[in-house]
Amino acid sequence: MEFQKGVIHDVVIRPLQKFIDERGWLCELYREDELEASRHPVMSYISMTLPGVARGPHEHVDQTDYFGFIGPSNFMLYLWDAREDSPTYGYRMKVAVGQDHPAAVIIPPGVVHAYKNIGGQPGIVFNAPNRLYAGKNKAEPVDEIRHEDQSDSPFQLD
């Protein structure tokens, strides 16, 4: 499949504001009043990614991811719309996020995604998905289709 550049339907990229004072900074990542109920987080985690390392591409069948990219490094975020019923099926996006462009990013099910640390230091990413990883008590299959090990995958990072 050949993807074309364009904004992907249902993906939300919201700039985040850091409130800075003499103590450091504070950044609101999630507010219930800014998100529809079906996307409310049920868990959260943070990950650290080393410079030059990518996570993904992968997608979810049912899960919506709610990422927070705030630093201390920068990331290139890659998105591909693989939802056949989407008005932007076949579109791809590439967005710089992180230290220089703090952003919350909502990625719906069926949108393949990956991110790569393009900065010179380890980077932290927050995620608050709307589904429990591996279900309640971690007793269900993980909702993840992994593409990163497929040599013929159409989801290639630059």
Beta bridge partners of 4: 91
- Contact at 8 Å (CB) between 57 and 92? no
For 151, residues 6+ apart whose C-beta sits below 8 A from its C-beta are none
In a structure prediction context, what are the per-residue pLDDT tens digits for the chain, which is 158 residues long?
889 999 999 999 999 999 999 999 999 998 999 989 999 999 999 999 999 999 999 999 999 999 999 999 999 999 999 999 999 999 999 999 999 999 999 999 999 999 999 999 999 999 999 999 999 999 999 999 999 988 889 999 98
List, in order of start, the domains of the chain with CATH numbers. 4-17+42-135 (2.60.120.10)
- Contact at 8 Å (CB) between 117 and 52? yes
Burial bucket for residue 15 (CB in 10 Å: 0-12, 13-18, 19+): exposed
Model pTM score: 0.94
